Structure 1
Amino acid sequence: MVFDNPRNALRGTAAGLAGAAALGVGYASLIERNAFTLREATMPVLEPGSSSLRVLHISDLHMMPGQKLKQNWLRELDRLEPDLVVNTGDNLSHQRAVPAVVQSLGGLLARPGLFVFGSNDYFAPKPKNPLKYFKKEHKRTHGEPLPWQDLRAAFSERGWLDVTHTRRELEVAGIRIATAGVDDPHLKRDRYDTIAGTPNPMANLKLGITHSPEPRVLDRFAEDGYDLVLAGHTHGGQLCLPFYGALVTNCQLDRSRVKGPSKWGAHTRLHVSAGIGTSPYAPARFCCRPEATLLTLVAAPDRGPKEGHRPGVSRSSAVVR
């Protein structure tokens, strides 16, 4: 294409950019947002000599009653036959979404499961200025209360364990698990002191669970000697750039750990789920497909006593990959 003057050239460039932007928005909101995928990762976190454990980590469903594609995809996850399901919260986005969540999880609710809740289990989402996400500290705005009690009752009646501010022990597939969780740190509802202390040293896996992976909470789990912490909330950044990654994490966690496995401190592993849904007011994903993760937990090398088991050892908030 040849332009006869600079003004026409500028108009052509602007039109091209606008067209590209429209295509990007259409792709992010219509295609990638519904391109559900299963991630798989192997994490060496079990005590030496332990057999492996398959854990399905799901998070951030943000369910609306009419989201049939999402619901059908969730139903298929039971075919993976995980040993344990861990749900790290933000299941709801609508007052009438509880039946859709319960029905779509289907057979997974008949398997051993653990859960904590997030902000969008307690409160409905509201429209927000997206620029607020670039400020780590900004005023939270909440929508109408959601029926989280009904969801908790439905999960509990089917055998899943609520680990909010509770320490529990269970045995799954021959693996003894000592687990504990906190309420949503994003809402500053976490009260780690209610679960503080070293988990049972006889357990094959010491598992911490939180919705938002706030460093202050991750530090406490690491200090107490937990092997693995599972979290959600970040949506993996939701809108990411090629070769750069997430723009924001929506919490104090650094961008390099916005999704997937990483290390926290010397001995604790972290897994952050990029989540399955989005807010109805920001229904788009770019370079960050919605996901669930099948974690294969295997025995870790014998590394000797963990720092969290040695009294008097000071720790920093530094994160090591």
Structure 2
Amino acid sequence: MTSSSTRVALTALAAVGATGVGAAVWGIGIERYLFTVRRHDVYVLPAGSRPLRVLHISDAHMAPRQHRKQEWIASLAQLSPDLVINTGDNLGHPRGLEGIREALSAFRGIPGLYVHGSNDLVAPSPRNPLRYFIGPSSHTPQAEPLDTRALDRFLQDDLGWHGLNNSTAALRVGDVKINAFGVDDAHRQWDDIPSLAPQVGKLKKRTDLTLGVTHAPYRRVLDAFVDFGADTIFAGHTHGGQVRIPGSPKALVANCDIPLDQARGLSSWAHGEASSPLNVSAGIGHSIYAPIRFGCRPEASLLTLLPRR
């Protein structure tokens, strides 16, 4: 190789290295703190209904010292939601409940629905990020258990929210009668559709709105929710890919079997002859072992439910 070509190669290599360092600095030091609210209008209410503001939060993966994240989540109460839907993975540290109390206490008295993600039961563990390109991640049998009962007491007794882990709930929000159902974390195969089906069948048929809630948007769960008549489905888990090519409509990975172009945001999920709006939150946090966001800002969603056109 000539000295000229050597200089070109070294220059190119240096440029690639500098780009990588710059991307890492941006993703670790800046973008993971650029919290944003994604807004959607969804036309699913009966004619004549008043709009219903639904705040969808997910994947906080909270650690006790993440005060910036806690303050931002608490500030979302200023959006005046009528209903909060939490799709799990609230905890990200053995003491994560301390931060969750700081973040969510602002929503006390606002109706809410929630399901668990696996990190509401066990602490995160180090992982090879390249493993996600092979397929959905596996679990670590030796993972440290978390105080899930204390989390549930806070969400249910303090905030007044309904847990939907393989169960149902009926509630009224303003003038809107809501039937809701959900599953435990499908990523860990804790979802139990067979036991949920008869519970859904017992819900009152005369209702204004039917909601399905899941942590991980696996196809089998989404198909079942459409079959159960969900007017809107809420999910998290994917982190929107967490690292994306800026401007690309597809995530690089989803850590489940949902199509990559539906791993973030509002889309439609069809099964048989029916379909339902599906909102997949890219989430607010990240594992303490992967503190980066690139091309995928941390987010919450505000869905304004409106009368059907």
Question: Are the counterparts in 2 of residues 164 and 182 from structure 1 also a CA contact under 8 Å?
Answer: yes
Deviation at 1:17, TM superposition (A): 1.0
- Which residues of 2 match residues 1-321 of structure 1 at below 5 A? 5-137=4-136, 139-141=138-140, 143-158=143-158, 159-196=160-197, 197-198=200-201, 199-244=203-248, 245-265=250-270, 266-301=274-309
Question: Are the counterparts in 1 of residues 67 and 99 from structure 2 also a CA contact under 8 Å?
Answer: no
Show CA shifts across 1:167-214 (max 9, x none): 111000110000011100000000012221455331111001110001
* 3-state SS of 2:55 partner: strand
Paired letter, 2:154? A
Measure the CA separation in 2 of the matches of 1:221 and 1:287. Answer: 30
Paired letter, 2:144? E
Aligned residues: 299
Paired letter, 2:149? Q
Deviation at 1:48, TM superposition (A): 3.2
CA change 1:137–1:233 in 2 (3 A) is closer
Measure the CA separation in 2 of the matches of 1:23 and 1:135. Answer: 26
Question: Are the counterparts in 2 of residues 59 and 87 from structure 1 also a CA contact under 8 Å?
Answer: yes
Measure the CA separation in 2 of the matches of 1:189 and 1:179. Answer: 18
**TM-score, normalization by structure 2:** 0.93
Deviation at 1:31, TM superposition (A): 0.5
CA change 1:125–1:55 in 2 (3 A) is same
Measure the CA separation in 1 of the matches of 2:222 and 2:139. Answer: 22
Deviation at 1:243, TM superposition (A): 3.7
Question: Are the counterparts in 2 of residues 45 and 300 from structure 1 also a CA contact under 8 Å?
Answer: yes
Measure the CA separation in 1 of the matches of 2:136 and 2:84. Answer: 32
CA change 1:164–1:139 in 2 (3 A) is closer
Once the two structures are overlaid, the 10-residue window that deviates more, 225-234 or 40-49, is 40-49
CA change 1:267–1:49 in 2 (3 A) is farther
Identity value in percent: 42
Partner of 1:308: none
Measure the CA separation in 1 of the matches of 2:211 and 2:173. Answer: 13
Partner of 1:316: none
* 3-state SS of 1:144 partner: coil
Show CA shifts across 1:214-268 (max 9, x none): 1101101111111111010000111000243310111010011111111111331
Deviation at 1:13, TM superposition (A): 1.2
* 3-state SS of 1:239 partner: coil
Paired letter, 2:220? R
Structure 2, unaligned runs of 5 or more: none
Deviation at 1:138, TM superposition (A): 5.0
Measure the CA separation in 1 of the matches of 2:133 and 2:17. Answer: 24
Show CA shifts across 1:269-297 (max 9, x none): 11110100001111111111000111101
Question: Are the counterparts in 2 of residues 65 and 97 from structure 1 also a CA contact under 8 Å?
Answer: yes
Measure the CA separation in 2 of the matches of 1:114 and 1:32. Answer: 29
Deviation at 1:97, TM superposition (A): 1.2
Measure the CA separation in 2 of the matches of 1:235 and 1:138. Answer: 13
Question: Are the counterparts in 1 of residues 58 and 283 from structure 2 also a CA contact under 8 Å?
Answer: yes
Deviation at 1:16, TM superposition (A): 1.4
Deviation at 1:141, TM superposition (A): 2.2
Once the two structures are overlaid, the 10-residue window that deviates more, 91-100 or 55-64, is 91-100
Measure the CA separation in 2 of the matches of 1:186 and 1:109. Answer: 29
Show CA shifts across 1:117-147 (max 9, x none): 1011111111111122112355322521111
**TM-score, normalization by structure 1:** 0.90
Question: Are the counterparts in 1 of residues 136 and 255 from structure 2 also a CA contact under 8 Å?
Answer: no
Question: Are the counterparts in 2 of residues 109 and 155 from structure 1 also a CA contact under 8 Å?
Answer: no
Deviation at 1:156, TM superposition (A): 0.9
